[in-house]
Structure 1
Amino acid sequence: MSIRPVTALSKAQPTLEGAGVHLHRAFGFHEPEALDPFLLFDDFRNERPEHFQRGFPWHPHRGIETITYVLNGSVEHGDSLGNSGTLGAGDVQWMTAGSGILHQEMPKGNARGQMHGFQLWANLPSSLKMTAPRYQDVGGGDIPEVIDDDGTRVKVIVGEFWGKRGPVDGIAADPQYLDIYVPPGVTKTFPVDTYRRAFAYVFEGAGRFADASQPGGVLLEKEVMGQEVNIRDLSGDRTLVRFGTGDEVTVQAGPEGIRFLLVSGAPIQEPIAWHGPIVMNTQAEIRQAMSDLRNDRFIQPAH
């Protein structure tokens, strides 16, 4: 077994999206090959309804899949397929945009006005760029959770882990998407397929990720985006951890424990042409998508 080295640490950056939603973007729109097959990851966490309630009105997608995971509050959604519904705390939605879909997502706070969730974009290979669009909503009660003897908890959202399989199925990138909590002071190792790209996103507590060259721990105390980050100050710090190759990730939880998403997927390794919510392989395909939008041909007839 080999520990995946930590290759980079960075903070999610404040970003405005939709009709004025304040969120933090961990990565997206730059160096799409770096975390192939993943394109973008947003953390929408806010306690001020005026910073999120105008939401994401009707907009198009083509050529990607999105995975939305809600922790607090809710998200009402509707789409050009006629689907509509509400994602509550703990719920997950997977959308395959494929050949084209128009949808809207309108977040609402909980009783205390809090909203928190994540959205991950996964690329589609060229052979599936123009596949039929589809949706899958999964209730939080259907997401298996594994609890180890030391108190470690893992929610298996996508993929298989510790004998449990997540309910979200059919994603082309075949990712593993885990929500992990490790109790204070506990050191835990998690297997990750050697041939997959992987990242962790810390959103509660703090910890150290072991490195092959420094097995005693890395480095959530080292410089992140030009600032010294202390292990005790990482709570809510929105830290993205990128890993090199290897077949396991080891973390030592700090004094308050650590909660993070661990995501991995097999790289597609194809050219990427990107224009906002549309991701294709060539600029000609982007121009065609924009022409389709202008001429009301974006939604393809069902085959």
Structure 2
Amino acid sequence: MHASDTQDARIVRTVRGMPASDGAGVKLTRVIGSPQLPDLDPFLLLDEFGTDRAEDYLAGFPEHPHRGFETVTYMLDGRMRHRDNHGNEGLLVPGSVQWMTAGRGLVHSEMPEQEEGRMRGFQLWVNLPAREKMTAPRYQEFAPEQLPVAAPADGVTVKVIAGSVDGVAGPISQPATDPVYLDIVLAPGARWQYLLPEGHNVFAYAYEGEVSVGEGDDARVLATQELALLGGGDHLRLAAGAAGARLILVAGRPLREPVARHGPFVMNTREELMQAFVDFQEGRF
């Protein structure tokens, strides 16, 4: 595709997260999965957690089941230990990513490995197509040093979790939704242009500072802790405000399948959902 054929992406809509709690009372901000934005195919949920108060996270996420989708945990600060009932265990440290395909089902826990200090990060839920909902569970886990960083423009660094930037490819592979997941740091006033994958649903979430999206009269500012749904074109132009900005940019190919969802189970039909509850209760996870 030639640059002349592309149109600028713009902010179609902004959404602010809502306070929520999950697990055994961990306080977080629910950005996707709230009444304002129930989902954005293939994304089912986005939670941001960030606090210096140990009492907000100490209870952690004790054992809970999942079936039919993927959970992506990206730690910015803090340490979290995960375990599941298939014998998998690991420690998520600052800057690490865990991309877990729950598939046909597992029971896992995520508990803090710290009693004080800051814990901050994101959890994203990505749907699986019907043909892959009952696959064997698997993990793609990457320590901070395994996540490549691109420097595509002055004052711009991009940690590439999935997708690619200037030939720097992220380690995550998921052909079903072909995701892009970038953590972008912009110095004050820095500008960057990026070509989005065609046909994907795309959002940006600013978690520090503010960033302008688009060019000229179409430019709109994305404030801290705001999510922008992007549309209208594949050519994304970003410009940081006076304090600089940090944001995640996430894109995925929509599945366009019916979603039957209840709590930690996401299937295509009500019958499959009922079966998930039966299988879990009968110990088949």
Whether these two folds match at TM > 0.5 is yes
Residue 221 of structure 2 aligns to a residue whose secondary structure is coil
Aligned partner of 1:214 in structure 2 is 217
Aligned partner of 2:249 in structure 1 is 262
1:42-80 Cα shifts (integer Å, max 9, x gaps): 101111111101110000000001111101011100011
Aligned partner of 2:55 in structure 1 is 50
TM-score (norm 1): 0.88
Residue 103 of structure 2 aligns to a residue whose secondary structure is coil
Aligned partner of 2:19 in structure 1 is 14
CA distance in 1, matches of 2:25, 2:265: 20
CA distance in 2, matches of 1:107, 1:251: 35
Aligned partner of 1:180 in structure 2 is 184
State the Cα distance separating 1:294 from its structure 2 match.
1.8
Amino acid across the alignment from 1:103? H
CA distance in 1, matches of 2:239, 2:97: 28
CA distance in 2, matches of 1:90, 1:251: 23
| Contact persistence 2:200–2:251 (CA under 8 A) | yes
Aligned partner of 1:288 in structure 2 is 275
Taking the TM superposition and a 5 Å limit, the aligned residue runs for 1:162-241 are 162-170=166-174, 172-210=176-214, 214-215=217-218, 217-220=219-222, 234=223, 237-241=224-228
1:272 equivalent in alignment to 2:275: no
Between 1:170-179 and 1:114-123, the stretch displaced more is 170-179
Residue 290 of structure 1 aligns to a residue whose secondary structure is helix
State the Cα distance separating 1:190 from its structure 2 match.
1.4
Aligned partner of 2:141 in structure 1 is 137
Aligned partner of 2:46 in structure 1 is 41
State the Cα distance separating 1:160 from its structure 2 match.
1.8
Q: Aligned pair in 2 of structure 1 residues 137, 144: CA closer, same or farther (>3 Å)?
A: same
Residue 99 of structure 1 aligns to a residue whose secondary structure is coil
Q: Aligned pair in 2 of structure 1 residues 142, 127: CA closer, same or farther (>3 Å)?
A: same
1:147 equivalent in alignment to 2:151: yes
Amino acid across the alignment from 1:253? A
Taking the TM superposition and a 5 Å limit, the aligned residue runs for 1:113-132 are 113-132=117-136
Query: Structure 2: where are the runs of 5+ without partners?
Result: 1-5
Between 1:168-177 and 1:54-63, the stretch displaced more is 168-177
Between 1:245-254 and 1:17-26, the stretch displaced more is 245-254
| Contact persistence 2:153–2:192 (CA under 8 A) | no
| Contact persistence 1:32–1:272 (CA under 8 A) | no
Q: Aligned pair in 2 of structure 1 residues 33, 239: CA closer, same or farther (>3 Å)?
A: closer
| Contact persistence 1:65–1:171 (CA under 8 A) | no
State the Cα distance separating 1:25 from its structure 2 match.
0.8
Aligned partner of 1:79 in structure 2 is 84
TM-score (norm 2): 0.93
State the Cα distance separating 1:188 from its structure 2 match.
1.7
Residue 63 of structure 2 aligns to a residue whose secondary structure is strand
State the Cα distance separating 1:171 from its structure 2 match.
5.8
Aligned partner of 1:69 in structure 2 is 74
Aligned partner of 1:229 in structure 2 is none
Residue 70 of structure 2 aligns to a residue whose secondary structure is strand
CA distance in 1, matches of 2:184, 2:100: 23
1:176-204 Cα shifts (integer Å, max 9, x gaps): 00000111112221110121100001001
State the Cα distance separating 1:2 from its structure 2 match.
0.7
State the Cα distance separating 1:214 from its structure 2 match.
2.4
| Contact persistence 2:15–2:37 (CA under 8 A) | no
Query: Structure 1: where are the runs of 5+ without partners?
Result: 221-233
CA distance in 2, matches of 1:49, 1:126: 39
* RMSD of aligned Cα (Å): 1.8
Q: How many residues align?
A: 280
| Contact persistence 2:153–2:191 (CA under 8 A) | no
